[in-house]
């Protein structure tokens, strides 16, 4: 076990409030580093011990694989360099006070390699000193005689890891896709390409993977690839990588048929055992995949996304699957880790994945609108449209990812076509290879079609997200009351279907809901008309809503 993994396992005993990477809240991390270790790279923090009175994270300790920073409320920071220490000792003495009462006095001392012994008790106020002694000695034992104390990044996205790691990761994905029917079909090919885009696989690596996909005789066994990954990645990061890999494989299974159970898939069950991932952890991983899918399928707004992400995050620690593992390769929907961090920052949740410090300059401004301005937007219905910023960002990222995937597919199609042309000139002796290349060409064409459909669907959703799903009929009637605008009213209402819905209080009412069967051009036209008549203009919308309400009151009077 590495020093960093040992720290993660044992540090919880030191204090009631301990935060372990990669699940350290951003505010706690910033406060702790500012107070205790301002020059420390935040990516190297393994844990934070918070002994501050109000839980702000300014007092206590910061631990890396090399050092322990101690900062009590009443003193400056004291730093313990593990490589300088021989051992720690803990003692208790009974002190009899003048009134006869006995007080237990603790002392925590560290013995240095130069022979000096120092009492550090004054720096550990609020900590369990006996457990801290055990932690320090355990760290030294884990490092061994060579004393290898190393600080590594605690949450590096897969896109920022070495190319050889990405290649091995995708090799296992290919093995899974090939394993059930000895064929990587069109949908599997498209999803693997989407993953390659998300993790920013470079051109030489992608060409290597293409060859690996096509030549089954070159496929390696999973165990060899896993062992190689273990050697390349530090222990803490490997814990994230293996759970991320399981997530991507389960999504690949779901992309073929959502009714398929991972428990009935021999490949996944064997991989689960090889990677030492529990059933509860896989069930949680599956839950996060469904959560991602529902963001688009149920057209969740920002408030709903924030709520569901908080629910997912609240379960992460208990089951032992950090959110950083779930989104190490980005979202299965086609959004990179950087894109997710950026989007969640807009919801005030930028630090939830543990990647924030990895990306510079990507955090977005918080959604506009406070106070009276926000109130007016709610009255006019504009706030409902603005409450879809995160989904809109995701859709744009999916379009971008899918377009790149389509470009890759076209390149692959061209390359296979060239190979097929060469083989056709060879005649009968190349018959087997021609058949294989023809089958592959057909599969790539289907993959390109599937990716194209994904782009088309995402582009349609990117328009729908800007349209009111339920039409404010009073406002439309007011905004199109002028003679020159009445022609627009009919066009608008033709894009909506009148339906009876049940309200929260149980009563029923007639509403006009957007007809989702409309094609992309009609939806674009609808948006242009609504924009032209002032439906999205807060001033015009507020005035029209007010006029509509007044007319309703007068008519009822």
Confidence (pLDDT) at 546: 47
Rg of the chain (C-alpha set): 30
**Is residue 25 very low, low, confident or very high in pLDDT (cuts 50, 70, 90)?**
confident
Distance between CA atoms of residues 64 and 85, nearest Å:
15
More confident residue, 137 or 313: 137
* DSSP, residue by residue, 372-410: HHHHHHHHHTHHHHHTTHHHHHHHHHHHHHHHHHHHHHH
- How many Cα atoms occupy the beta-carbon half-sphere of 466 within 13 Å? 20
pLDDT in tens, 144-154: 766 678 777 77
- 355 neighbors 322 (Cβ within 8 angstroms): no
Tell whether the model's pLDDT for residue 411 goes beyond 60: yes
* DSSP, residue by residue, 162-230: -HHHHHHHHHHHHHHHHHTTSS--HHHHHHHHHHHHHTT--HHHHHHHHHHHH-GGGPPPHHHHHHHHH
Structural domain spans, the chain: 3-143, 158-389, 390-464, 473-556
- How many Cα atoms occupy the beta-carbon half-sphere of 68 within 13 Å? 27
Distance between CA atoms of residues 325 and 441, nearest Å:
35
Burial profile 144-159: b = 16 or more Cβ within 10 angstroms, e = fewer: eeeeebebbbbbbbbb
| pLDDT winner (highest mean) among 115-119, 344-348, 355-359 | 115-119
pLDDT in tens, 374-396: 333 333 344 455 566 666 777 77
Centroid of chain to Cα 409: 26
In this prediction the pTM is 0.68
């Amino acid at each position: 076990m590495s020093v960093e993994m040992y720290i993660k396992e044992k540090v919880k005993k030191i204090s009631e409030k301990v935060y372990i990477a990669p699940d350290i809240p951003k505010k706690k991390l910033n406060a702790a580093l500012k107070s205790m270790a301002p020059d420390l790279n935040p990516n190297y923090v393994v844990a934070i011990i918070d002994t501050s009175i109000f839980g702000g994270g300014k007092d206590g300790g910061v631990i890396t694989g090399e050092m322990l920073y101690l900062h009590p409320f009443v003193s400056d920071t004291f730093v313990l360099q593990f490589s300088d220490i021989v051992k720690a000792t803990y003692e208790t003495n009974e002190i009899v006070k003048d009134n006869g009462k006995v007080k237990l006095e603790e002392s925590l001392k560290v013995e240095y390699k130069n022979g000096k012994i120092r009492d550090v008790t004054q720096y550990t106020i609020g900590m369990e000193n006996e457990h801290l002694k055990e932690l320090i000695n355990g760290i030294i034992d884990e490092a061994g005689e060579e004393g290898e104390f190393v600080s590594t990044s605690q949450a590096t996205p897969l896109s920022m890891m070495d190319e050889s790691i990405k290649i091995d990761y995708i090799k296992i994905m290919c093995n899974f896709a090939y394993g059930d029917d000895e064929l990587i079909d069109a949908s599997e090919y498209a999803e693997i390409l989407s993953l390659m885009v998300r993790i920013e696989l470079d051109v030489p690596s992608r060409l290597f993977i293409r060859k690996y996909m096509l030549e089954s005789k070159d496929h390696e066994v999973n165990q060899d690839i896993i062992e190689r990954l273990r050697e390349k990645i530090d222990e803490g990061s490997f814990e994230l990588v293996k759970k991320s890999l399981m997530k991507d494989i389960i999504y690949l299974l779901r992309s073929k048929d959502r009714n398929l159970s991972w428990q009935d898939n021999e490949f996944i069950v064997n991989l689960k055992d090889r990677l030492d991932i529990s059933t509860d952890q896989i069930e949680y991983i599956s839950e996060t995949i469904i959560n991602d899918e529902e963001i688009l399928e149920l057209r969740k707004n920002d408030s709903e996304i924030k709520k569901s992400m908080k629910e997912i995050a609240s379960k992460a620690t208990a089951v032992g699957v950090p959110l950083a593992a779930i989104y190490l390769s980005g979202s299965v929907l086609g959004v990179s880790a950087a894109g997710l961090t950026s989007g969640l920052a807009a919801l005030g949740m930028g630090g939830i994945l543990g990647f924030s410090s990895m990306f510079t300059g990507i955090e977005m401004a918080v959604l506009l609108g406070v106070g009276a301005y926000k109130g007016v937007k709610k009255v006019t219905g504009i706030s409902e449209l603005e409450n879809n910023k995160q989904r809109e960002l995701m859709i744009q990222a999916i379009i971008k990812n899918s377009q790149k995937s389509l470009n890759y597919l076209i390149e692959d199609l061209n390359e296979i076509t060239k190979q097929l042309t060469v083989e056709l000139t060879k005649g009968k002796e190349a018959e087997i290879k021609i058949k294989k290349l023809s089958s592959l060409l057909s599969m790539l064409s289907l993959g390109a079609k599937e990716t194209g459909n994904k782009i088309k669907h995402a582009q349609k959703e990117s328009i729908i997200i800007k349209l009111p799903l339920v039409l404010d009929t009073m406002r439309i009637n007011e905004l199109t009351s002028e003679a020159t605008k009445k022609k627009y009213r009919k066009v608008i209402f033709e894009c909506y279907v009148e339906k009876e819905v049940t309200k929260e209080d149980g009563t029923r009412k007639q509403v006009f809901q957007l007809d989702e069967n409309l094609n992309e051009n009609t939806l674009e036209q609808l948006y242009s008309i609504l924009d032209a008549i002032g439906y999205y203009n807060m001033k015009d919308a507020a005035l029209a809503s007010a006029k509509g309400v007044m007319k309703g009151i007068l008519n009822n009077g």
